[in-house]
Structure formats: structure tokens, C-alpha cells
Amino acid sequence: MRKDIIACIFKKEMTDILRDKKTLFMMIILPILMYPALILLISQVMMMSMSSMQQKELTIAFSQAPSARLMSKIEQGKEEEGKLKVIQVEDYKLALEEREITAYVEIQDKKEEVLYKIYSNSSVEDSNTAARRLEALLDDYKGELIEENIKAAGLDVKVILEPITYERINTAKNEEMAGYLLGQILPFILIIGVLLGAIYPAIDVMAGEKERGTLETLLTLPISNLELVMGKYLAVSVSAIVTAILNIVSIVLTMVFLVGGIGLSEDLGMADMNMSELILPLLITLVCICVFAMVVAAISMCVCSLAKNFKEAQNYITPIMFAVMIPSYASMIPNIELNGFTATIPVVNISLLIKSVLTFRYDIVAVAMVLVTNIAFVILSVLLLSKMFNSEEILFGSGKSFSFLEKRSNLKKGAIPTLSDGMVLYAVGLLLLIYMGSILQVHFKLLGIAFTQLIIIVLPLVFAYYIKADFRKVFALQIPRFKHIAGGVSLWAGGAILALVIGQYMLYLFPQNMEVVEALSKMIFSNDKVWINLLVIAFLPALCEEVFYRGFLVSAFKETSSGKSAILLSSILFGLMHIDFIRIIPTTLLGITFGYAVYKTGSLFIPMLMHFLNNAMAVLASYPANPAAKVYHYMELNFSNLDIGRLVILMGISILFIIAGIWLLKQKEQSKILGAEVDL
């Protein structure tokens, strides 16, 4: 893809979007003016309504005259609860129905007590209020009678009525209370804002282009469909993201005004609130909502591409609005929290994530899972959109039919996967790992891990067969030389030490993730037999994951970029696939060493060996009697009381191993699949 072409398309689409008054209203005017106005108006109306209800005098009736004492309490009333007026009625049911009275009290005299039955109409607010006022008065009246009876019996009122005392103390900070209030409504408002910010630009750049007849002109330009799609997609994504940011800014400023401007901090429970405590949660919210906006933008464009005109696109987009709006209510449902399961549900995960970060109860692992899941949906949506642009049947209603994967029947054997193929494979693999692999691993443990690895290796093999790829080239099936084996082992040793140090430092920064690491280790090493653990945890991942990443993905990515860029991108995706926030950086680092080995040797067997050694050492280190456990114990670092000498030794050893490995792997005469010297 050419960046300058994408930038030109992006500029053109943004210009068209900013010229449309309806889109500008939905993107800027609505979030800046409407939300503050609505929040302020609703808060003022609620306060006025509550004040009016307290001051309102409500009529009630009794079946017989109440005691003089009770009548006196009714006439005096309580200013904060409102007053009641007693009138006489003949038919209380008719009076309640015609709203002549708001409540009716039937008094029944029994031998040892007096029973008061309160009749009210729960569908009428005044009737509910009158019933509550009567209950409060009768409770007060009952308390006075009880105290008098106890005193008459010569007993201590306090000892009898209050043998124990209790007090409820709210430990929540004002910032947490503010986050709790925001967490109830903010997710829904933001998701709706993202929808409004993405839908109208998507309709304009897709159906609008068709209706104006300008899409055909764009398709005749000397640019690829992917470049055209990316330019349009970036414009719609920016519109959705800008709308989301404006929503956040608008709501935050409104809350600041409510707390400090008109003195509602006491009423809202936000007195002496430190707004700076909300900065980090709001930043996390912003990142998550931006990724979600990219998903909504891609889906909206896919749907709008099916329409032939603006009106038809509006009809098509309505189900999408409902499909997004309904799950966004998840933040308002009690007892539903962000966890390993809900983090994988689209829309629901974003809604619960915003709620959790605003209440300061977010889990880094869950946050990472939400982000990775949405990134996978972004990749799939964009690729689907680019495929739809290749279909004349979709765009203009005639021509060839649509296929998500390009048909390769006309290609000869020996094809190389493209960047698009690699991203499709990764997105599908990531979603299968999240939705299927996690279930298999939780229920079947080691056997589930084995099944997951089989899924990982089957995907690239089936895909390569589908596109009629040259398996030897794509999967680098070349016998390595001895010095390359030695170089791979040396490079792994240096990279493993460095990755271990970084992983320990990450745990020091985020100690709450230690429980996740321990639970994962407990699940992985649930079997006491060493050979089974070595087979499932060391051998299978070394075989299956290397075929997927250093085989298929690296071959696909190098088609549109340099070998080094392909290594870096595949390594980042390798780290993201592990989802656990603590392991992403160390795993990415190891992925780079594995990728460098296949880049220099042209043999996938070298990174397979490195991967196996890495996992095998972890397996053996879990057994205290094994020498590997002593090596790992020496490399354990306590960053709260750091032994600088040991850290320097470890880093020195790591650098020496890495330098030795690079030197052994640098053999120019060895043919390679990624080097600039060999043109495949």
C-alpha cells in the first residue's frame, strides 16, 4: 500500500464529511451541546420535582377517627416529608379511583393491638408518596407508644430497645463514588456517540458515493482497492473517534460544572473529590472506545456498501444500531462484571470495561483481552470490506459474486500468501483461540491445550493448501546446518534470559497479575508426568506455533514489506496471541529471536528447536529436583530489594549469548527465504 495515496483518499473523504451539515451536527453539535443540556436539565427537573413533592399536601381518609395523638402528628407533619390532609369519604375505592384521596387507612381495633391497613394505588405517584408518609408517621407513633409502655413497666428503654448499636461506614472514596455514577451511564452514552459518529460518515462515503455517481470515478484511478478502502475507513474511523472524544470531554466538563459550578457536590456525594484520580481510568476508557470506534466504523461501512443510495443505507444500518445499543445496557445490570468470559463478548466487553475502569476495579488481563478481541474484529472487518470492494456484484449489483477469500483456482501451484491472507488467518486464529481455545483449556486442561495447538497448525496448512502454496517455500522446510543450530541455541539462551528479567519486572510493576500467572501454571502443570508435560507444553507449541507464525505469517508479510518488518510484525502478533498482559512483551521479544533465526537460516526447524528449548526449560524448572530449577532460581530477581550485581551478570550473559548467536547465524552463503539477496 502507498501511504501518500491513502493520505489523499483520506483527505478527500474528510473534506466531504466536513461539508455535510448533518454529519457535523451528529459529530460536534450533539455531543458538545445536547449531552450537557440534557444532563443539566434532567438534574434540575429531578431536584425541582423532589422539592415540589415534599411541599405538596396530599389528601387521605380514615375508616374511623384516629386517636387524638396520631391526628396531632398528622396535622403537624414533618417538613422534610411533606404534609397530609385528612378528609371524609363514603366510598374509599371510588375516591381512590377518581383521585379524590391519595391513600385510605382502615383502623381495626383488636384485643391487644390496633391494626392500620393502608390502601394506595401504586400506579399513581402521589398515592405512593402518601403511603410512604403514612408509614413514616405510624413508625414514629409506634416508637413513642413502645417507649411509654416500657417506662410504665419500670424498665430501661435504651437497654430494651437498643441492646446493640451498629453504624454503617462507607469506605468508598469520593472518586470511586463519582466513577460508580459515571460507570452506570457513560458506557451507553459513549457507545451511542460512537454509533452516531460512524454511521453518517459511513453512509456518505459508501452509499453517498454511489448515489452521486462518484464511486465509479474513484475505481478508475490508478490505485488499489485496498488503498481506496483504507483511505475511506480512516476517515470514518477518525469521525467516530472524534465524536467519542467530544462525548468524553463534554460529559467530564458537565460533571465538573455540576460538582463545582452549581454546588451539587453534596447532593451527588462528590464533596472534596479529587478529579485527578479519574485521569488514568478516563485515558484507558479513551483507548478502548477508540478501538471500538474502529470496529463500528468498519462494520458500518460493510453494511452501507450493500446499499445503492442514502435512504437504503439508513434502512440497512438500523439493525446494526439495535445490535450495538442493546448490549451496551450491560453496564446498568447489577452483578455483571468484566471477567474472562464477558471480555470476549462484543459491545458488552466495552461497556463493562468502561464501567470497571471508572470504578477502579479493572483487571489488566481483562483489559488486554478486550483490546485484543476488538483488534481482531477490526482486522476481520477491514479485510471483509476490502473483499467487498473487489466484488462488482456487491458494489453495483452486477458482475462477479462476492467471496471473502480470493479464489485461487486459476493459479498454478507455488503461490505465496499475501498480507491479506496473513491477516485473515491471524484474525480467525485469534478469535478461535479466545472463544474455543479458552473453553477447551478450562474444561480439559492439558488435553485442551493439545487441541488448541492442533487448531493453530491446521489453520495455516489448510489455508496454504487452499491457495495452492509451495509448502517448502512458505514453511521454510530446509535442513539446517550445524553452526545454525548452535547459533539458534545461543540466541535463544540470550533472549530467554532477557525475556525472563523483563517478565519479572512486569510482575513487580503489576503484582495483581501474580494470581493469573499462578493459576495458569497450576492448570498447565496439572499432570505429574514429565514426558506428558514436555510433549504438550514444549513440543506441540514449538511445532504448531512456529508453522503458524514463523512459517505462514512471515512468508505472507514479507510479500509487501522487508524481511525485518515481517519478523517484527509477526512477533508482535505472536505476543498479542498470548493475551496475558504480563507475557506480551517477553513473548514478543522471544518471537523476534525466533524470527531472526528463520530469516538468517531459511529453516523453520531452528525456531522450532528454540521454542522447544524455551518451553522445556520452563517445564523442567517446575520440578525442584531438576537442575533447571536451580538455574531459574538464580535468575529470580526481587526488584523491591534488587541485587544489582546479579542483574549485571545476567544482562552480561544475555548479551554475550545474543552476540554469539547472531554471529553464528550470519552466513551469507546459506540460501534464505526472506533475505534481500534471494528473490522468490
Is pLDDT at 166 greater than 70 in this prediction?
Answer: yes
Determine the pLDDT at residue 609: 95
pLDDT in tens, 599-636: 999 999 999 999 999 999 888 888 777 777 778 777 87
Determine the pLDDT at residue 43: 64
What are the contacts of 510-515 at 24+ separation with CB within 8 A? Answer: 510/364, 510/581, 510/582, 512/363, 512/364, 513/364, 513/365, 513/580, 513/581, 513/582
Determine the pLDDT at residue 621: 84
**Helix/strand/coil (H/E/C) assignment for every residue in 532-544:** HHHHHHHHHHHHH
* Greater pLDDT, 410 or 364: 364
Determine the pLDDT at residue 672: 45
* Residues 74-97, mean pLDDT to the nearest whole number: 81
* Greater pLDDT, 159 or 472: 472
CA-to-CA dists, residue 252 to 31, 176, 282, 637, angstroms: 12, 15, 9, 42
Q: Strand pairing partners for 103?
A: 60, 120
Is pLDDT at 242 greater than 80 in this prediction?
Answer: yes
pLDDT in tens, 390-405: 766 556 654 344 444 5
Q: Strand pairing partners for 86?
A: 60
Confidence band of 486 (pLDDT split at 50, 70, 90) = very high
Distance linking the first and last C-alpha atoms of the chain: 20
Measured torsion, CA atoms of residues 521, 523, 524, 529, in degrees rounded to the nearest 10: 110
43 half-sphere exposure, CB direction, 13 A CA radius: 17
Determine the pLDDT at residue 50: 58
**Which cell goes with 409?**
483456482
Domain ranges of the chain: 3-43+177-404, 56-161, 433-665
* Residues 422-433, mean pLDDT to the nearest whole number: 84
Domain 56-161 has CATH 3.40.190.10: yes
* Residues 84-101, mean pLDDT to the nearest whole number: 89
SS3 82: strand
Distance CA 476, CA 547 (A): 9
Determine the pLDDT at residue 382: 79
Is pLDDT at 478 greater than 70 in this prediction?
Answer: yes
* Residues 475-499, mean pLDDT to the nearest whole number: 92
pLDDT in tens, 171-187: 777 667 766 777 777 78
Is pLDDT at 8 greater than 50 in this prediction?
Answer: yes
Determine the pLDDT at residue 400: 42
Determine the pLDDT at residue 399: 39
Distance CA 106, CA 99 (A): 17
Distance CA 589, CA 349 (A): 29
* Residues 297-311, mean pLDDT to the nearest whole number: 82
Confidence band of 674 (pLDDT split at 50, 70, 90) = very low
* Residues 420-448, mean pLDDT to the nearest whole number: 81
pLDDT in tens, 549-573: 999 999 988 876 677 888 988 998 8
Mean pLDDT score across all residues of the chain? 79
Contact between 453 and 503 (Cβ < 8 Å): no
Determine the pLDDT at residue 175: 66
pLDDT in tens, 364-377: 777 877 888 888 88
Confidence band of 31 (pLDDT split at 50, 70, 90) = low
pLDDT in tens, 351-361: 888 888 877 77
* Residues 207-222, mean pLDDT to the nearest whole number: 76
CA-to-CA dists, residue 59 to 268, 342, 441, angstroms: 32, 50, 66
Is pLDDT at 23 greater than 90 in this prediction?
Answer: no
Lowest mean pLDDT of 197-201, 334-338, 610-614, name the range. Answer: 334-338
Determine the pLDDT at residue 273: 54
Determine the pLDDT at residue 367: 80
